[in-house]
């Protein structure tokens, strides 16, 4: 429907140089749809056409829609030009939209100037939303003093802080490790007749984790339930991520089990944190188990899930069969190996002395036009040359150079040359050894593949 409306607007613009009021009304409606679809360039062309025709002047709603679109896409300079070029007075929605865009971009000084402009003009005074947006922006920029001043100012101007205002300030306090101050702010919030919600407590959980009080955060989850609140996936995720970051995956698993018992589906990022923590502790079998259990726990592994476990397994001797099983499973789920995974697999096979599999993976990379990482290529070349396959190294490198976009071909060439030089250096000792053996056995010496190469 939205796409059809946008296409209709485009056809009208292309076929008519004289837009009637009715058609302009239709186009303005399509204009709003285009902004919501993030097609800001075409929305701007409609806007410019309306202005050029001069049949009607864009109203405050049209300007606000354009400003919102620019802000949403982070095109703040375009939003500024649109705001400053308005041919009608902005209303509180326009101001709030613009202030929100500035705050998201971290342009707090400019945002404050716009709010001051509202105060001086007196025709469109800032409301609770305006001040809350400003407070949120200050807190996200760690300007807590400014946020506090702003909160005091809004009360002076008879703008009553709401739960979003308090949550924004509590977030700022918690992310700066000021947990006790955040708790006092929560008490103040209750005294003012406002009820804290899950978002309020999730901010507190973040604060507790930031100051190293993960166990207190886990206990606070239980307190939330006793208060009649239902911790959501985001609340649990905060604590699970922190436990995993601290190398305590077992405690994170306890919370995952609790989520399962409550019928909640953890976000895939929780499992990815768990896999990193388990693998870092050398608990690869548990990582594989939980990776395979993800669907039963209401979550689907993504590429990062597989990549985390597979790449860690490749660094452990004797685990390449597990890697192969996971790669098959990954393919079945629609995920394909990337450069890093392929490169790590080549190193893993080299480490396990499985040269044929290493060559097989390397050839697959060439077929797909993927260039192996230099570090892995170095291991690969050294392993092959050390096992009498210098001629194969030369062939594979030439094939890679022809079929793949090697970014620094000279660097890769130098690795090949260095290892071939080592083969040359080792030949005198090698020849001496073979001559002695041949002399004792009275046999003719046949050239090896390396000797044939050199």
Q: What is the mean pLDDT of residues 381-400?
A: 93
What's the confidence (pLDDT) of residue 441?
A: 53
pLDDT band at 419 (very low <50, low <70, confident <90, very high): confident
Mean pLDDT of all residues in the chain? 87
Give the dihedral of Cα atoms 142, 143, 149, 151; nearest 10 deg: -30
pLDDT at 452 over 60: no
* Residue partners of 310: CB distance under 8 A and separation at least 6: 323, 326, 327, 330, 341, 344, 345
pLDDT at 282 over 90: yes
Q: What is the mean pLDDT of residues 194-199?
A: 96
Provide, rounded to the nearest whole percent, the portion of the chain with pLDDT above 70.
Answer: 81
Helix or strand or coil: residue 63?
helix
Helix or strand or coil: residue 57?
coil
What's the confidence (pLDDT) of residue 59?
A: 83
Residue pair 238/202 in contact by the 8 Å Cβ criterion: yes
Q: Token match 């597989």: residue?
A: 306
Contacts of range 244-249, beta carbons closer than 8 Å, 24 or more positions apart? 244/273, 244/274, 244/276, 244/277, 245/273, 245/277, 246/214, 247/277, 247/280, 247/281, 248/214, 248/277, 249/274, 249/277, 249/278, 249/281, 249/283, 249/286
The larger pLDDT score, comparing residue 320 to residue 14, is at 320
Helix or strand or coil: residue 380?
helix
The 8-class DSSP code of residue 294 comes to: G
pLDDT band at 385 (very low <50, low <70, confident <90, very high): very high
* pTM: predicted TM-score of the whole model, two decimal places: 0.81
pLDDT at 33 over 70: no
What's the confidence (pLDDT) of residue 434?
A: 46
Q: How far apart are the first and last CA of the chain?
A: 70
pLDDT at 74 over 60: yes
The larger pLDDT score, comparing residue 26 to residue 153, is at 153
Tokens encoding 219: 């206990």
pLDDT at 204 over 60: yes
* Burial class of 360 by CB neighbour count within 10 A (0 to 12, 13 to 18, 19+): middle
pLDDT band at 62 (very low <50, low <70, confident <90, very high): confident
Q: Token match 């949550």: residue?
A: 167
pLDDT at 431 over 90: no
What's the confidence (pLDDT) of residue 380?
A: 97
Residue pair 78/70 in contact by the 8 Å Cβ criterion: yes
Beta-carbon neighbour count of residue 57 at 10 Å?
10
- Among 171-175, 197-201, 286-290, 444-448, which stretch is predicted with the lowest mean pLDDT? 444-448
Q: Where are the alpha helices (DSSP H) in 192-229?
A: 198-210, 214-226
């Amino acid at each position: 429907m939205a796409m059809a409306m946008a296409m209709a607007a485009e056809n009208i613009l292309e076929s008519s140089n004289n837009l009637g009021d009715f058609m302009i009304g239709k186009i303005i409606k399509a204009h709003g749809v285009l902004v919501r679809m993030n097609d800001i360039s075409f929305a701007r062309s409609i806007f410019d056409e309306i202005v050029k025709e001069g049949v009607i002047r864009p109203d405050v709603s049209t300007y606000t829609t354009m400003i919102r679109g620019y802000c949403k896409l982070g095109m703040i300079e375009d939003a500024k030009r649109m705001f400053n070029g308005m041919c009608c007075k902005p209303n509180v929605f326009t101001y709030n939209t613009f202030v929100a865009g500035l705050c998201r971009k971290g342009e707090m000084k400019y945002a404050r100037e716009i709010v001051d402009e509202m105060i001086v003009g007196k025709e469109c005074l800032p409301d609770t939303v305006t001040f809350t947006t400003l407070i949120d922006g200050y807190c996200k920029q760690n300007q807590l003093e400014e946020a506090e001043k702003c909160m005091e100012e809004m009360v002076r101007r008879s703008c009553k802080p709401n739960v979003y205002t308090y949550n924004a300030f509590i977030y700022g306090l918690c992310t700066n490790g000021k947990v006790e101050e955040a708790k006092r702010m929560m008490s103040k919030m209750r005294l003012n007749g406002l009820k804290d919600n899950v978002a309020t407590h999730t901010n507190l959980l973040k604060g507790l984790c930031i100051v190293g009080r993960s166990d207190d955060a886990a206990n606070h989850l239980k307190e939330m339930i006793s208060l009649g609140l239902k911790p959501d996936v985001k609340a649990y995720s905060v604590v699970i991520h922190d436990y995993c970051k601290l190398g305590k995956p077992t405690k994170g698993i306890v919370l995952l089990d609790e989520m399962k018992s409550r019928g909640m589906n953890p976000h895939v990022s929780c499992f990815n944190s768990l896999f990193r923590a388990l693998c870092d502790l050398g608990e690869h079998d548990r990582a594989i188990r939980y990776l395979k259990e993800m669907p039963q726990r209401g979550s689907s592994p993504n590429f990062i899930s597989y990549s985390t476990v597979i790449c860690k397994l490749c660094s452990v001797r004797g685990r390449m069969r597990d890697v192969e099983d996971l790669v098959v499973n990954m393919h079945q789920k629609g995920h394909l190996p990337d450069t890093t995974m392929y490169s790590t697999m080549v190193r893993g096979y080299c480490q396990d002395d499985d040269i044929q599999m290493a060559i097989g993976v390397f050839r697959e990379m060439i077929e797909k036009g993927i260039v192996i990482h230099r570090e892995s290529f170095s291991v690969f070349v050294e392993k092959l040359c050390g096992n009498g396959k210098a001629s194969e190294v030369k062939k594979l490198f030439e094939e890679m150079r022809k079929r793949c976009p090697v970014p620094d071909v000279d660097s890769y060439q130098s690795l090949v040359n260095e290892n071939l030089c080592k083969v040359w250096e080792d030949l005198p000792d090698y020849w001496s050894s073979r001559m002695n053996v041949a002399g004792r056995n009275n046999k003719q010496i046949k050239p090896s593949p390396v000797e044939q190469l050199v």
